[in-house]
Amino acid sequence: MKHTALAAAVVALLCAVVAIAGAPAPPAAVSPAWNFNATIIEACSCPMFCQCYFNSHPAGEHGEAGGHYCKFNNAFKVNKGSFGTVKLDGAKFWVAGDLGGDFSKGMMDWAVVTFDRATTKEQRDAIATILGSVYPVKWNSLTTAEGDMSWTAGKDEARALLDGGKSGEVVLKRFQGNTNEPVVIRNLKYWGVPRNDGFILMPNVVEAYRAGDKQFEYRGTNGFMITIDSSSKDSGPAAKAGR
């Protein structure tokens, strides 16, 4: 499932903003102009709501003793986007990983970027570059894979499957507020993205990554949906590299 050549390409594209295991980055290349608007079905092992957005240390399993980590699944669907002449509308991809126990210095543990099998090489290369702006951090391990991804979202439920659930699964249910409208956290920054429409709180029924040797599964922990918006014109590591 892992593709060594594509993994190498992703690492090269992200090297301006993502250094793998402290390796020195070569000079940044100029990237085409891009824009990116996507909705994420996201869940992690932290209790609701994920304390990672307010602290430099994540929770342990359900906040209990025994180690701190944030094991996550982020299922993306691009609403509208382009990278130079490459259109990204409708593209799907999945980022699973673990932020580790202390990300105060911007060093995360591991991540696997899985591209939907329907995406082209040009789309994958474009997404890899854009992800360096969305998540401007370092990873001890960053690899890629490909799979068949399904993605559906509604007001009351959201569901994403990787290889029919064999490799990954996220199911979210709307958190009940005072009314039937979703509970939304606004004015909270999402990583390196300058704009978002708010964190729609939807605890997970299940969030699982079942591929490879770093599998995990949680139920009833943190979950939300969010729509993010960014472009090469925005300030940030990727924009600076482009200039």
Residues 6+ apart with CB under 8 A from 105: none
Six token digits for residue 147? 């799979």
- H helix runs in 94-187, sequence order: 121-134
Say which residue, 171 or 29, is predicted with more confidence: 171
Rounded average pLDDT over 86-97: 98
pLDDT, one tens digit per residue, over 34-46 is 999 999 999 999 9
DSSP-assigned letter for residue 63? G
Q: Residue count of the chain, please give it.
A: 243
Is the pTM for the entire model greater than 0.75? yes
Q: Looking at the predicted structure, is the pLDDT value of residue 164 above 90?
A: yes
Look up residue 65 and give its amino acid.
A
Q: Looking at the predicted structure, is the pLDDT value of residue 1 above 60?
A: no
Residues 6+ apart with CB under 8 A from 121: 6
Nearest to 237, CA basis, from 90, 91, 138: 138
When pLDDT is cut at 50, 70 and 90, the band that residue 155 belongs to is confident
When pLDDT is cut at 50, 70 and 90, the band that residue 29 belongs to is low
The structural domains of the chain, with segments of one domain joined by +, span: 4-20+34-237
